[in-house]
Amino acid sequence: MKKTASGNPKRVLSVGEVAQRSGVPISTVHFYESKGLISSTRNAGNQRRFAPVMLRYIAVIKVAQRAGIPLEEIRQTLGSYPPSSKLTASQWHEISSLWRDMLDERIKRLTRLRDEMDRCIGCGCLSLEECPLRNPDDVLGEKGPGARILERP
Ligand code: FES
């Protein structure tokens, strides 16, 4: 345990302790660090040491991943706060509000896709008047690759 200038112990965690306490493999801790989602410092022996607040970051990352939020979005959101800082309740609320809006938008898109899928799978009519997947003359192909109809906002 490292001592601060005031003599108070400053608790830091090894990568193994972070993995054990957060319930993720060591490789995941390293992966999150390599992606800039969490950070560490090095001790005199050049070993990684993590502030205990990183356990909270990992918990939030896991919840966000379960909700389908892309890692890059998680990184950008967490990166908008000072690195390794202990976020306040109000800052965590800001994050959850931001991700809630994103999830609401995704739910809306998936609901529409589900309804369109009900109509189109097994139909195949590609009706000009009725089909949401209709793409006459491949005009969407000019806008770039990918399933543009399915991914539209
Ligand atoms: S294929 Fe018939 S409605 Fe889409």
Ligand 1: residue of 133, 149, 150 to mutate (most ligand atoms within 8 A of CB) is 133
Output the six-digit token pair for 99. 């991700």
Report the pLDDT value the prediction gives residue 1, as an integer from 0 to 100: 46
Cα(20) to centroid of ligand 1, in Å?
51
| Separation of alpha carbons 131 and 126, rounded Å | 5
- pLDDT band (50, 70, 90) for residue 61: very high
Ligand 1 within 6 A of 140 CB? no
Closest CA to 59 of 24, 98, 88: 24
What is the model's pLDDT at position 144? Answer: 72
Q: What is the mean pLDDT of residues 125-130?
A: 75
β-bridge mates for residue 77, sequence order: none
Domains of the chain, by residue range, sit at 10-79, 107-153
CB-ligand 1 contact for 15 (6 Å cutoff) = no
* 130 Cα nearest atom in ligand 1: 3
- State mean pLDDT over 44-64: 93
C-alpha dihedral sign at 139, 145, 148, 153: negative
Q: Which atom of ligand 1 is nearest to the CA of 132?
A: 4
For residue 146, pLDDT over 90 is answered with: no
Res. 5 pLDDT band, cuts 50 70 90: very low
Q: State percent of the chain over pLDDT 70.
A: 83
- How much is the pLDDT for 7? 42
CATH architecture of the region 10-79: Orthogonal Bundle (1.10)
Place of tokens 């950008």: 76
Total residue length of the chain: 153
Look at the block and give the residue holding tokens 């993995």. 19
* 3 phi and psi angles, rounded to 5 deg: -100, 140
Share of the chain above pLDDT 90, in %: 49
